Structure 1
Amino acid sequence: MNIFGVIVAGRMVKTDFRTHKEGEYTTELFDIANVNHIVVFLTGLQPLPPDIGASIFISWPSMEKGMGSMEWSNLGFISNEKPSAIFRVGQYINSLQTHNIFTGSQSLNTEGTKNALIGILLEPLSQIQNKGQTNDQFSAENGQVAAINEFSQKMLRNFVNYVQSFAVSLPKPGQMMASTATEMAEYLPAKSRTLDYGGLLRLRMLLITDREALNGISFVLVRY
């Protein structure tokens, strides 16, 4: 009996889940390298047992550990009260914690990582909800860190580009005459408004959060 179904946009509905043992189901999705979202749903032919939900997982073969080794990422869940859900799958395989839980799904005929397995595990709803709170907190914390890092990197690049626009080319020390100088260097005027106290404080904070972004970049201040 086809209890579960999967939809990939533009394709036929898949309901051919294999049962590996009680409460464990998998189906293979082909050529999903460019798929960003899938829909998993209950077909309605048979409801789930009371107080039981279906945790949804996705897996690609582990290229580092060999084609027979599977790594599972938790997407979310569906239940009688929430019989369908849309899941983002494009970036999950590298960002979520993996769970090696399906015991009978090691044999998979795939070409590289173009194909994936969708796994469903029946669990008590209380256990699923507790696990979901942990995953939500983990995702939120990592999302905030990623956003801060991205913001600081973009701000720092813009700041450096802006400061570089004030740079002037002058002879290196010891070569005072520009007409006879053989080596020139980039200098930044110390009176430039970009180097006021507030600007330096902002630069200091950026250096603290993203020092690697300034590797290889240096300025010499000169008063004139």
Structure 2
Amino acid sequence: MFGCLVAGRLVQTDALQVAPDKFVFNLADYENVNHVVVFMLGSVPFPTGTGGAVYFSFPDPLRGGPVWQLLGFITNEKPSAIFKISGLKSGEGGAHPFGAMASAQPSVAQVGVSVEPLEQLLQQIPVSSAAVSTVDTFMQFTQKMLDSLYNFVSSFALTQAQMTPNPTETFIPSSCVLRWFENFQRRMAQNPNFWKN
């Protein structure tokens, strides 16, 4: 019914059914996993009015058992989702439907899918750091590049009193760089592909 995918690994379709409405995937070497994708295989839909709450658990010897955290959910209308789990290795777990299940090995985490009513799924609040950024990678790179350029150029700023005459060097007012920086950011926000024209 479900699949689980970690980049660089084979797709897992061998969910262990631990209850009639609960399924678990084991994730070995979870310390090296940043994101996980949970999806429906397409062979069996959720029963009408239900979906799957997706949880992540990692072993926590200090608490004496696994820590479960809600990542989000999948439904017949949204049959797959990607979650960031790299920031979830510490912190508090919340209420979960998996009881006192414990991972067999200390280096194995688990991804659980619990079939629940849609009304209940919509009322649950996932861990905020599990949401994958919706900002395009290109947009992130461009913003970081702009910030880096502006910070680099600003580090050389001099007042007119500090300047020594040098006829072989051209000076650009920092206000021009700032104006370009702000215009570029505005144009990127309006149309991330403006530079292709």
**Percent identical across equivalent pairs?**
36
What is the aligned partner in structure 2 of residue 8 from structure 1?
6
Question: Is 1:18 the equivalent of 2:13?
Answer: no
Q: Take 2:35 and 2:98, find their aligned partners in 1: how far apart are those partners?
A: 22
Match of 1:126 in 2: 119
Residues 19-98 of structure 1 aligned to structure 2 (within 5 Å): 19-66=17-64, 69-95=65-91, 97-98=93-94
Higher relative contact order (CA 8 A, sep 6+): 2
* Structure 1 consecutive aligned stretches of length 4 or more whose deviation exceeds 6 Å: none
Distance 1:83 1:100 in 2: 21
Deviations 1:43-70 (A, max 9, x none): 001000011010000111121133xx22
Find the structure with the greater CA-based Rg: 1
Distance of 2:101 and 2:93 partners within structure 1 = 19
Report the Cα distance in structure 2 between the residues aligned to 1:102 and 1:6, rounded to whole angstroms.
18
Question: Over residues 125-159 of structure 1, what are the superposed CA-to-partner deviations in whole Å (9 max), with x where a residue is unaligned?
Answer: 11111113xx47xx49xxxxxxxxxxxxxxxxxxx
Normalising by structure 2, we get a TM-score of 0.60
Instruction: Give the unaligned 5+ runs of structure 2.
Output: 130-197
- Structure 1 stretches lacking a partner, 5+ long: 141-224
Number of aligned positions between the proteins: 129
CA contact (8 A) 1:20 1:105 kept: no
Q: 1:86-113, CA deviations, whole angstroms, 9 ceiling, x for partnerless residues?
A: 000001242454234313733x321x3x
1:102 aligned to 2:92? no
CA distance in 2, matches of 1:83, 1:58: 18
Instruction: Give the whole-Å Cα distance in 1 for the aligned partners of 2:96 and 2:61.
Output: 15
Establish whether residue 115 from structure 1 lines up as the match of residue 108 from structure 2: yes
Name the CA distance, whole Å, in 2 between partners of 1:80 and 1:34: 30
Q: CA RMSD in A?
A: 2.0
